[in-house]
Structure 1
Amino acid sequence: MPPETTATVDTTDPTRIHDIGYRGYSGPRLGRAYARRSLFTQSLRGAYGLGRSAKSKILPMLLFAVMCLPAGIIVAVAVATKAKDLPVEYTRYALYLQAVIGLYIASQAPQSVSRDLRFKTVPLYFSRPIERVDYVVAKSAAMASALFILTAAPLLVLYAGALLAELDLADQTKGFAQGLVSVALLSVLFAGIGLVVAALTPRRGFGVAAVIAVLTISYGAVSTVQAIAFGQGSSETVTWLGLFSPVTLIDGVQTAFLGASSAFAGGHGPSGAFAGAVYLAVVLGLIAGSYALLMRRYRKVGL
């Protein structure tokens, strides 16, 4: 009977497979709400280039500085000259710099959604697939929050400067609160429109051009036609033409409900409850419509 032999195993073989077994996950299951918060946080940080390359931070940070710089100059002048009031209303500041806001949303809305559409992936790992509504809500909230930071920061600078200049506390607090309401509404509206336009194409360059056309060019066109109508003595037409541009819509709402002065030609903003209600209804309709279009877009592409 031959002697027994013992098999030897080559432990240096790099192709050897180790059976370490399977261990189930026993940690906390954080659910959809945590996934939404994670996507919201990642998208908000990305809107300012945080967590991305240094080159990605340049434009959003530069635009943020451009938004705040005029406010700092206004404050310095008000303090140095001991002015009795700020030369710019809180509700008008964002409208004066609407071109900067338009450029910001045009640059950041496509980077928020276009790459996801093009590659059908997000830069996060989820333990389970997120729902379509979670994605849309997180992206919309993040872009609106990024815009609110962009537009509210200079108002805070103005308010702090007004207090340093020892201007009337009650008047400045009221104006600051009205300005925050105005830019909050502007942020939600612009974020919805910008994301819808950007989501129509997975090509980022096309998305940038389309957002600029919708937000900035529409304002220039409406303002030009309003000026022509005012020159012909049709003040009623000036009022209703404001319904055809996102910027003039915000102008009309804050004129009707926040006591702001209108930037329309001749100052003919919406007056009366009916005109104000129409402007507010159009703004709310655009916000709701933008959300519905985003949901439809992602349903169409199978996400």
Structure 2
Amino acid sequence: MSTETTRIHNIGYRNYDGPRLGRAYARRSLYSQSLRGAYGLGRSAKSKVLPMILFAVMCVPAAIVVAVAVAMKAKELPLDYTRYAIFTQAVIGLFLAAQAPQSVSRDLRFKTVPLYFSRPIERADYVLAKYGAMASALFVLTGVPLLILYVGSLLAKMDFVDQTKGFAQGLASVALLSLLFGGLGLVLAALTPRRGFGVAAVIATFTISYGAVLTTQAIADVTGSTGAVEWIGLFSPVTLIDGVQTAFLGASTSFPSGNGPGYGTGAVYLLVVLSLIAGSYAALMRRYRKVGL
């Protein structure tokens, strides 16, 4: 009868003695990973298809506008920088509906968020990284077409000062839009771990509110209640941005009969936008506290 002997093997494990990178590094890594994920980078080829198509759809009209302006030797662009995001708001809404749920819903569904908190990262870090990544992804989506318009206008030898001013106003507008849309989209997506429900919630909220506001504004304008037109615009994210840039960035408005808000009403629009951005952050913090993360 053979007797088994016990052997202890030294396989070389040793304590980690490298640098401790801490919360800031973990937050930056989560932000970078989330931003890349919004465009399918670092994920499967199938995940890249929709965001890249939507990115191309956003850029193609800008390239066409530039080509037409150059061919006709125009002195100014046929589409203002501040109007481009309003003109393409449906594409922005689709991008948000597709990418906001993939940013947060999967973590909730598969309960992977506690793995993040096993590292030196807190709830505020997670929310800031996700919010910042979504807003940055939207800013890239809306800002690159403006850059195409700007470069094209300079190649067409349009007035440098006017084009630079318009470009700066457009960037300010889409930066505010990115923060507002990104926050609202993440809040809606984080309400459910089911990605499909999150997509439907984002599309329904943005599409229905915009359609309802435009219809109500048109009715108010036709019936002579023109004073109500600018106040009705407070009830849709798209018209909120439209109102802010009309009041403070010298943009033309899509409101009926050109009844955009002035400085007084514009201040209310800006206050509502900033409140929604802060409220979105607070709602995300509350959501992750509620689920025990």
Q: TM-score range by the shorter chain?
A: over 0.9
1:33 paired residue number: 24
TM-score, with structure 1 as normaliser: 0.92
Who is 2:278 aligned against? 288
Residue in structure 1 matched with residue 171 of structure 2 by the alignment: 180
Partner of 2:137: 146
Task: Return the index of the structure with the highest Cα Rg.
Answer: 1
Distance 1:20 1:63, change over 3 A: same
Aligned to 1:191: 182
Q: Tell me what 1:264 maps to.
A: 255
- Residue 25 of structure 1: CA displacement? 1.5
Pairwise CA distance, 1:123: 11
Q: Distance in 2 between matches of 1:37 and 1:17?
A: 41
Quick one: which amino acid aligns to residue 236 of structure 1?
G
Partner Cα separation in structure 2 for residue 17 and residue 233 of structure 1: 90
For the residues of structure 1 that align with 2:118 and 2:234, how far apart are their CA atoms? 45
C-alpha separation in 2, matches of 1:125 and 1:262: 44
Counterpart Cα distance in 2 of 1:183 and 1:64: 15
Aligned residue in 2 for 1:113? 104
Change (3 A) 1:251 1:280: same
TM-score in terms of structure 2 length:
0.95
**Distance change (3 Å), C-alpha of 1:178 and 1:125:** same
Gapped regions of structure 1 (runs ≥ 5): 1-6, 11-15
Tell me the C-alpha RMSD between the 2 structures. 1.8
Q: 2:239 aligns with which of 248, 254, 258?
A: 248
Q: Is the 8 A contact 2:23 2:120 kept in 1?
A: no
Whether the 8 Å contact between 2:243 and 2:260 is mirrored in structure 1 is yes
CA distance in 2, matches of 1:268, 1:125: 49
1:4 aligned partner? none
Distance 2:11 2:196 in 1: 49
Size of the aligned set, in residue pairs, is 291
**Percent same amino acid at aligned positions?**
77
- In the TM superposition, what whole-angstrom CA distance separates every residue of 1:164-190 from its partner, at most 9, and x where no partner exists? 111111000000000000000000000
CA–CA distance in structure 2, aligned partners of residues 275 and 35 of structure 1: 42
Q: Which amino acid aligns with 1:98?
A: Q
Aligned 1:214-253 pairs, distance under 5 A = 214-253=205-244
Measured in 2, the distance between the counterparts of 1:18 and 1:133 equals 44
